[in-house]
Amino acid sequence: MQELDGSPSPEGHIIDPEALLLATTVFGRQDQRLFDEALDWLVSFGALINVQRLKNLHADGELGHARALGAVAAYVTRHGKLPKWGALTKAGSDPLPAEPEPFFESPGIPAMHRGVTDPDFLAHGWLRGMPRKKELSMPPSPERVADVLLTLRALIGVSSRCEIILCLLTRPSARPAELARLTGYSAQAIQAVLNEMVLSGKVRTDGPRTPAARQKTVRGVSLRYFLQPQDWHFILPAESSPRWLPWAALFALVQGVDEALCTIPDELLLSMQLRRLMERHVSDLTEGISSQLGYHPNMIGESLLKCLAVDLPRLLRAI
């Protein structure tokens, strides 16, 4: 969450706070300072997080750690006085371990815990000390293009309309199914919201949307939707050209690769598991990400291992 506090981040990409939080429940466990900064930010500004979208990305995209997310939600509900986070306190269906286990871990170092245990994390089977409440987190800056999703939520509310607007502003046009893949909502929900947004005159289509067409339940040719960028320069200045990246799919791939590398010693079995991961996520790796990985469906064995061992870190550094 440091990017939201004013630290440097690529201005060419719009930050996805839900995908970033879910990734933090996995990789943040290796850095207590980073994780506690995220908790501190959520206590202050967690109202800007879309809890329903967070649940969707976690359930549908295999991103994040269920018990860690539940513990975070319980902590934020209690200390941030944000009741909507209560819906996440039972995130996932992971059973509690027979004995609580240390929350923070370091590669190659046995996990351990000392001191007073935080009750919210203990209730989810974790041992960790009481987070230090520094209360130094800064709100997302409206001057930074990378923060534009949170800026828009602060202006018009936390809803799928924010993701729809920004996705349409970062491409010439899009169909509802494409918007659904990019945002983490169902295509049906996206279509319903688009039908309302078209009435504003600001969201446009490449064809008429008649009442009969809106009521069709059979599958047919879907319309493309688009915005006029000049109507939205108060949100995205004319000189900016950020990209909406499928962060959730990318983080889910990284999480799966990291888990496979840590648990599968055999090279052949590792290659098979990595191939399954790519087949599972490649359709969601839009915006040219799969091609930047140098991946193609016929890759096997050593070439696939090289692709993910070399090209994936390079891609993450580049974006």
Question: Would the pLDDT of 215 be above 70?
Answer: no
**What single-letter amino acid sits at 107?**
P
Task: pLDDT band for 218, please (50, 70, 90 cuts).
Answer: very low
Q: Please compute the mean of the pLDDT values over residues 24-51 and round it to a whole number.
A: 95
Which tens digits make up the pLDDT trace of 154-185? 999 999 999 999 999 999 999 999 999 999 99
Query: Chain-wide mean pLDDT for the chain?
Result: 87
How far apart CA 273 and CA 259 sit, in angstroms, is 10
Phi/psi region, residue 287 (left: phi>0; alpha: psi -120 to 50; beta: rest), is left
Contact 9, 15 (CB under 8 A): yes
**Delimiting residues of CATH 1.10.10.10 domain(s) in the chain:** 159-232
Which top CATH class is 159-232?
mainly alpha
pLDDT value for 189: 94
- β-pair type (126-127, 101-102): parallel
Contacts of 112 (CB under 8 A, 6+ apart): 102
274 or 241: whose pLDDT is higher?
274
pLDDT value for 217: 45
Question: What is the token pair recorded at 207?
Answer: 């064809």
Which tens digits make up the pLDDT trace of 284-319? 888 888 888 888 888 878 888 888 888 899 888 888
Question: What is the token pair recorded at 297?
Answer: 């469906």
Distances 16 to 79, 101, 249 between C-alpha atoms, Å: 23, 30, 11
**What single-letter amino acid sits at 306?**
K
- How many other CB atoms sit within 10 Å of the CB of residue 96? 12
pLDDT value for 311: 87
Range of weakest confidence among 54-58, 179-183, 198-202, 220-224: 220-224
pLDDT value for 183: 93
How far apart CA 260 and CA 269 sit, in angstroms, is 9
Which tens digits make up the pLDDT trace of 233-247? 888 888 888 889 999
b/e 187-196 (16+ beta carbons within 10 angstroms → b): eeebbebbee
- Nearest CA to 255 out of 121, 110, 94, 62 is that of 62
Question: Would the pLDDT of 9 be above 80?
Answer: no
- pTM of this structure: 0.86
Q: Please compute the mean of the pLDDT values over residues 260-265 and round it to a whole number.
A: 90
The angle at the Cα of 68, spanning 117 to 157, to the nearest 5 degrees, equals 115
Question: Would the pLDDT of 219 be above 80?
Answer: no
Task: pLDDT band for 93, please (50, 70, 90 cuts).
Answer: low
Q: Please compute the mean of the pLDDT values over residues 181-206 and round it to a whole number.
A: 93
Question: What is the token pair recorded at 214?
Answer: 């809106």
Q: What percent of the chain has pLDDT over 90?
A: 58
1 or 23: whose pLDDT is higher?
23
pLDDT value for 196: 95
Q: Please compute the mean of the pLDDT values over residues 271-289 and round it to a whole number.
A: 88
Which tens digits make up the pLDDT trace of 106-116? 776 666 677 78
Cα 151 to the center of its chain, rounded Å: 17
